[in-house]
A and B are shown apart, each in its own frame.
Chain A
Amino acid sequence: MPHATVPSPGLQALILCGPGVSLNTFTSNPKDLPKALIPIANRPMVWYPLDWCHRMGINDITLVTPPESSEAVAAALKTHPALTGLRFKPDVLAPEELLQTTGTGELLRLPEVQKAITSDFILLPCDLISELDGSSILQQWMTLNPPSTSGKKLRWKGGLSVFYPTQGLEGVSTKKDETDFLATVPLPKSAVPPPHGSLRPHIEEIVTFMPTDTLNDKLEEDKGHLRVRQSLLNRHGRVKMRMKHRDAHVYIFPQWVKEFVAKNERFDSVSEDVLGWWAKAGWQEGLAEKLGLDEVLGEKKAEDDEMNGDLADDEEIDPSSLSSTKAAKPVQQAATTASFASRVGGTSAPTPKDRIATPPLLAYVQPAPSPSSPLQPLIRRVDTTAQLASISLYLARQPADHPLAHEHNVHPTASIGLQSRISQEDSLVGHNVTMGIRCNVKESVIGANCEIGSNVRLTKCVLMEGVQVGDGVVMTGCIIGRRARIQGVKAAPVEPAAAAQGAGGEGGESAAAAGDKKGKKKKGGAADDGEEERTRLTDCEVAPNYVVEAGTEAKGEKLMAFDTEGVVDEDMHDGEEDEQGVEEED
């Protein structure tokens, strides 16, 4: 992948670093470790969108983060090896009023953010992992937009969002993946069949969009029926509805969206409200006016007219009206406008401008993997722990020529003890890891500066930075937070009963902290039954800095300390992670 040789697409990027509600095991302390810095395959989460932007030539990047996390983010940008390796420096913007609970729509209305947006922009979450090259998405956006300046007259740049299928990817997809409800109509066919690998066949126009939660509410309201407006069907013949796709929260927006959002105080979230209303405004009669869309677009027009007032007499022609592959718009549209105006009664008001056509809101809907095309580039949002684990392991599996692959699967500075086996093709070991003898590591990611004792067995585990794992620990499918300690055999005799079981909404789990320690180092070989005193963790999440007592055996639990920080509940999600309000009780 050629880095940085791409011409700038003239966009700026806004990366929203949210709180990570459903990663609450690891993000309970946003000052210290905000979601954006949670490692995915040994790189901070925010590296992925940064790198993605960089690869498509965007160097004007702003990280928007709540003030309390800004220091940590800024510090990480200066010190973390993965982030300092980037050849550009993103700005960190921490608006005062930005709380962890602020909605994304509100976020866009904040004066600081409004000021920061000076051109067309792309809005990204910090948890985006995309193998798909951003420039190919951008290319479609550019292709399908009217040429920029000709837009002065009638047409305005549209937006583009990205949806990915949640299903069908082995090892990554789970049943619990959040989905959105999306209704689209096909675009007019391109003049010639697009070249191989082009995304054009999958670009569609959004007509309705809502998160599944909202959909469920609506369904409940209407007793299991989904009401569809007649005007939608009048306007579009072929509406396709999808429920198995999810909004990747990648939005390419033209600049006017900034004003559009500012005008509509009610817009709380970008995905649900901005996207949802914009999509509807495209076909619902009069909605565009209600949303002030005509003013947003019309205002600009007036400005522009003033700007080249001296040239006002020249009719700037729209190149696309000359294009031989485009047909002129039906004249009837003017007729409908006229009738609309007369019905309203105000003959003078909107008539000269006629109704401004709502710019199209497009979507790249990634096709679900099918037998004919089993491999689609991965696009995912990592906002649950399950995703965190599966994506980390997925990235660890990738061969070296993968754009997101690491240079070394086992970092050269790691010191591995004798007879320890690491399956290199599906594991990652960060720098300065020390590992004792006779360890066995399979399909795991081990973060930087971890200290791993002897006879440890790790399978499908994700260890963040600085984790200490004692001797003889056996872990399967675990995610261990930063600087946590998993004590092996022979540890302090303290045994705070069920220390950690305050974990959120799951309720009801009580640790089987049957911690009997024995000062005996066992050989790793016979790990099956005889030694119940070994620490065994299966499918657990361990919070940062938490100490797991020796001999703990746990399965499917969240091991975290009682929250002393008080309320860490937040809703300022950079997307629609408004799943069940997970809360910690104190």
Chain B
Amino acid sequence: MSEPTKAPEAAQLAEEAKLSPAELKKRAKAEKQARRAAQKGEPGATGVPVPATNGTHEAPKPPKQSGPQEQKAQGSQQKGPPQQKQKQGVQEGKHERTGSIQQPLPTRGMPALAGPVKEVQRKDKKQVELFSHLYTQSRRQDIAGASKNVHPSVVALGFQMSSYEICGSSARCVAMLVAFKEVVQTYVTPSEVSLARDLTSRHLSPQIDFLRSCRPISESMGNAIRWLKKTIVEIDPRTPEQEAKDYLCDEIDRFVRERITVTDQAIAASASALIKDGSVVLTYAKSSIVEKTILQAHANGTRFRVMAVDSRPLFEGKSLATSLMHAGLQVEYLPFSGIAYAVKEATLVLLGAHSMLSNGRLQSRVGTAALAMQAHKADIPVIVCCESVKFSGKVALDSIVLNEVAPSEELLLPKATVSHAPALDRKDDDDEDRQVRSLHDWRDIPGLQILNLMYDVTPAEYIRMVICEYGNVPPSSVPVVHRLANEGIM
């Protein structure tokens, strides 16, 4: 029966090209419903809308068998090779609908398939193939589904991270450790286990998982977590519980102080010495350590000015420019497109880091690499300020392997009409949809993908020097410092 229906289907397909995606969607929905109805074995459901259904199921089997009977046969679970084949077919069909298969379908020339399959593919294609390994977990936007054991302060922190209220490698690291202090204090050791054995696995890991689901863990957080786990394990199991907890909290305080607070001061002191009278410091986005360095140099009485380059979507440079301005510095704020202009005047480039990789490359806010390259070409020294806690044993040659994909929506500019109204909005807009298409409809525009990466990797040859608490080192010495600073504690 699929034979006679082919012709109208082909016509349908031709029509489809003219229809808008919204209509296509509607049609796909109608088809789906019809398919479902047919699957239930409704008698007399062989009308016009059904062929699509039958097509799906019939695809892998010999063309002589006819639809409805076949399905009933399936239902009764008869044995035999053809049935099995069918079953598979059905399964695959289902698979497609949920959208978890990405490769194109095996050659089933059924034109009727085109509708629903297209739909599925379109949904999938919203993730950029090259970066598909980074889309592992969509970012958590609400509390639903979180583990019950997550501590309130960690919940709050997670939300603050996912909304970028707390952003930046050091800030996240510190905030996490501070939150973990509370987590440790609320921990009660169950009977028959010791704190040293139980705290990490049972109590701490849900917290870490929750934070990870809010935003991927940064390198500094990873190092801090490793350190904390090690510290916990090394606690003598005989230590009384409260004592052990207090010890841990003190250790966390010490870690924050030694690895971040004091370190920052040391780095700021040595980096600010590089800023001379009349310097023009060029920086990108915002790094707490760069901010501190500049403020330190300003406090030292050096007269210089700052150029802050910035880009979407976070506009962190704005915050930097604001706080420098509050401090009374002369700041020039440039958009990313102004890099070429900026390097003409700059005498020094100061960069913060998300992480220093072991091959001497710098992983930092996306856009840093371009700035570093321009500066390198213009022979301006590029200097990275980075605490050793951000040094990593990982190696990356490009920004593809290690990176973080943020929700694409962040790149959209706010709508002109302030209605951020949720999905309901969209349903109503069907007719509006046809009139004006903006980037906000990107999910409905076929072939359009938006990629929002957080970091990029700057090649080591662009970096003149890395300033860490161990001194000023060339990028090639990163692994050494990493071993000194982080491996010892791991």
| Chain B residues with CB below 8 A from A323, complex form | 165-168, 171, 288
**Residues 292-327 of B contacting A (Cβ, < 8 Å):** 313-316, 318-320, 322-323, 326-327
Please tell me if A346 contacts chain B, counting CB pairs below 8 Å. no
Please tell me if A139 contacts chain B, counting CB pairs below 8 Å. yes
Please tell me if B361 contacts chain A, counting CB pairs below 8 Å. no
**Contacts known (A142-B155, A143-B160); A325 close to B256, Cβ less than 8 A:** no
Closest to B315 in A: A191
| Chain A residues with CB below 8 A from B210, complex form | 7
Checking B250, B287, B328, B421 against A373 with a beta-carbon cut-off of 8 angstroms, the contacting residue is B421
**Residues 117-163 of B contacting A (Cβ, < 8 Å):** 141-153, 155-157, 159-160, 163
In contact, A139 and B323 (Cβ under 8 angstroms) = no
**Contacts known (A331-B327, A373-B419); A191 close to B163, Cβ less than 8 A:** yes
**Complex Cα–Cα for A301 and B318 (A):** 32
Closest Cβ of chain B to A132, distance in Å, is: 12
Checking B171, B257, B314, B326 against A192 with a beta-carbon cut-off of 8 angstroms, the contacting residue is B314
Please tell me if A196 contacts chain B, counting CB pairs below 8 Å. yes
Please tell me if A135 contacts chain B, counting CB pairs below 8 Å. yes
**Complex Cα–Cα for A196 and B291 (A):** 33
Closest to A135 in B: B143
| Chain A residues with CB below 8 A from B316, complex form | 324-325
Please tell me if A327 contacts chain B, counting CB pairs below 8 Å. yes
**Contacts known (A325-B319, A373-B424); A332 close to B326, Cβ less than 8 A:** yes
**Contacts known (A10-B153, A317-B260, A372-B417); A192 close to B425, Cβ less than 8 A:** no
| Chain A residues with CB below 8 A from B181, complex form | 149
| Chain B residues with CB below 8 A from A315, complex form | 261
In contact, A147 and B412 (Cβ under 8 angstroms) = no
Closest Cβ of chain A to B433, distance in Å, is: 14
**Contacts known (A147-B179, A191-B167, A191-B314); A319 close to B409, Cβ less than 8 A:** no
**Complex Cα–Cα for A314 and B288 (A):** 19
Of B142, B165, B285, B322, chain A has the most CB atoms within 10 Å of the CB of B165
In contact, A324 and B288 (Cβ under 8 angstroms) = yes
| Chain A residues with CB below 8 A from B285, complex form | 324
**Complex Cα–Cα for A315 and B257 (A):** 8
Checking A319, A325, A326 against B174 with a beta-carbon cut-off of 8 angstroms, the contacting residue is A319
In contact, B156 and A331 (Cβ under 8 angstroms) = no
Closest Cβ of chain A to B161, distance in Å, is: 9
Of A8, A10, A319, A372, chain B has the most CB atoms within 10 Å of the CB of A319
**Complex Cα–Cα for A9 and B407 (A):** 25
Please tell me if A311 contacts chain B, counting CB pairs below 8 Å. yes
**Residues 400-414 of B contacting A (Cβ, < 8 Å):** 406-407, 409-410, 412, 414
**Complex Cα–Cα for A149 and B181 (A):** 9
In contact, B165 and A144 (Cβ under 8 angstroms) = yes
Please tell me if B106 contacts chain A, counting CB pairs below 8 Å. no
In contact, A139 and B142 (Cβ under 8 angstroms) = yes
**Complex Cα–Cα for A8 and B144 (A):** 12
Please tell me if A400 contacts chain B, counting CB pairs below 8 Å. no
Please tell me if B47 contacts chain A, counting CB pairs below 8 Å. no
**Complex Cα–Cα for A329 and B323 (A):** 7
| Chain B residues with CB below 8 A from A10, complex form | 151-153, 155
**Residues 1-37 of A contacting B (Cβ, < 8 Å):** 2, 4-11
Closest Cβ of chain A to B310, distance in Å, is: 11
| Chain B residues with CB below 8 A from A201, complex form | 418, 420
Closest to B290 in A: A324
Please tell me if A339 contacts chain B, counting CB pairs below 8 Å. no
In contact, A328 and B326 (Cβ under 8 angstroms) = yes
**Complex Cα–Cα for A144 and B210 (A):** 19
**Residues 305-322 of A contacting B (Cβ, < 8 Å):** 311, 314-317, 319-322
**Residues 147-199 of A contacting B (Cβ, < 8 Å):** 147-150, 190-198
Closest to A144 in B: B165
**Contacts known (A148-B182, A331-B327); A324 close to B157, Cβ less than 8 A:** no
Checking A147, A192, A314 against B166 with a beta-carbon cut-off of 8 angstroms, the contacting residue is A147
In contact, A327 and B319 (Cβ under 8 angstroms) = yes
Interface size on A, residues (CB 8 A): 58
**Contacts known (A6-B148, A372-B425); A193 close to B314, Cβ less than 8 A:** no
In contact, B418 and A326 (Cβ under 8 angstroms) = no
**Complex Cα–Cα for A6 and B143 (A):** 7
**Contacts known (A142-B159, A143-B156, A201-B418); A319 close to B171, Cβ less than 8 A:** yes
**Contacts known (A197-B423, A327-B318, A327-B319); A320 close to B155, Cβ less than 8 A:** no
**Complex Cα–Cα for A330 and B166 (A):** 19
In contact, A7 and B167 (Cβ under 8 angstroms) = no
**Contacts known (A8-B152, A311-B250, A324-B288); A147 close to B417, Cβ less than 8 A:** no
Please tell me if A384 contacts chain B, counting CB pairs below 8 Å. no
Closest to B317 in A: A324
In contact, A327 and B323 (Cβ under 8 angstroms) = yes
**Contacts known (A322-B170, A372-B417); A195 close to B141, Cβ less than 8 A:** yes
In contact, A7 and B148 (Cβ under 8 angstroms) = yes
In contact, B319 and A326 (Cβ under 8 angstroms) = yes
| Chain A residues with CB below 8 A from B156, complex form | 142-143, 145, 147-148
Please tell me if B422 contacts chain A, counting CB pairs below 8 Å. yes
**Contacts known (A142-B160, A197-B422, A322-B168); A149 close to B178, Cβ less than 8 A:** yes
| Chain A residues with CB below 8 A from B153, complex form | 10, 147-149
Please tell me if B253 contacts chain A, counting CB pairs below 8 Å. yes
In contact, B145 and A2 (Cβ under 8 angstroms) = yes
Of A2, A9, A328, chain B has the most CB atoms within 10 Å of the CB of A328
In contact, A324 and B287 (Cβ under 8 angstroms) = yes
In contact, A6 and B146 (Cβ under 8 angstroms) = yes
In contact, B175 and A9 (Cβ under 8 angstroms) = no
**Complex Cα–Cα for A139 and B165 (A):** 13
**Complex Cα–Cα for A324 and B288 (A):** 7
Please tell me if A57 contacts chain B, counting CB pairs below 8 Å. yes
Checking B157, B171, B327 against A328 with a beta-carbon cut-off of 8 angstroms, the contacting residue is B327
**Complex Cα–Cα for A54 and B179 (A):** 24
In contact, B163 and A200 (Cβ under 8 angstroms) = yes
Closest to A10 in B: B152
**Contacts known (A139-B159, A192-B314, A325-B316); A7 close to B143, Cβ less than 8 A:** yes
Closest Cβ of chain A to B213, distance in Å, is: 12
**Complex Cα–Cα for A479 and B15 (A):** 57
Closest to B154 in A: A7
**Residues 41-90 of B contacting A (Cβ, < 8 Å):** none
Please tell me if B172 contacts chain A, counting CB pairs below 8 Å. yes
| Chain B residues with CB below 8 A from A11, complex form | 152
In contact, B174 and A324 (Cβ under 8 angstroms) = no
Closest Cβ of chain A to B317, distance in Å, is: 9
In contact, B314 and A325 (Cβ under 8 angstroms) = yes
Closest to A152 in B: B178
Please tell me if A75 contacts chain B, counting CB pairs below 8 Å. no
Please tell me if B164 contacts chain A, counting CB pairs below 8 Å. yes
**Contacts known (A2-B145, A192-B313, A332-B326); A325 close to B419, Cβ less than 8 A:** no
| Chain B residues with CB below 8 A from A9, complex form | 152, 155
**Complex Cα–Cα for A475 and B153 (A):** 54
| Chain B residues with CB below 8 A from A321, complex form | 171, 288
Closest Cβ of chain A to B405, distance in Å, is: 14
In contact, A324 and B412 (Cβ under 8 angstroms) = no
In contact, B167 and A324 (Cβ under 8 angstroms) = yes
The interface bits of chain A over 434-466 (1 if a CB of B lies within 8 angstroms of the residue's CB, else 0) are: 000000000000000000000000000000000
Please tell me if A237 contacts chain B, counting CB pairs below 8 Å. no
In contact, A6 and B174 (Cβ under 8 angstroms) = no
Q: Which 7 A-B pairs have the closest CB atoms?
A: A10-B152, A319-B175, A328-B323, A373-B421, A322-B171, A324-B168, A142-B156
| 9 further A-B pairs in the complex, CB-CB below 8 A; given A370-B419, A373-B422 | A7-B150, A8-B152, A135-B142, A150-B178, A192-B164, A193-B420, A195-B409, A320-B166, A326-B319
Q: Can you list 24 contacts pairing A with B, beta carbon distance less than 8 Å?
A: A2-B145, A5-B148, A6-B144, A7-B150, A135-B144, A143-B156, A143-B160, A147-B153, A147-B157, A148-B156, A191-B167, A192-B164, A195-B141, A196-B409, A197-B422, A311-B253, A320-B171, A321-B288, A324-B167, A324-B287, A326-B319, A328-B322, A332-B326, A374-B428
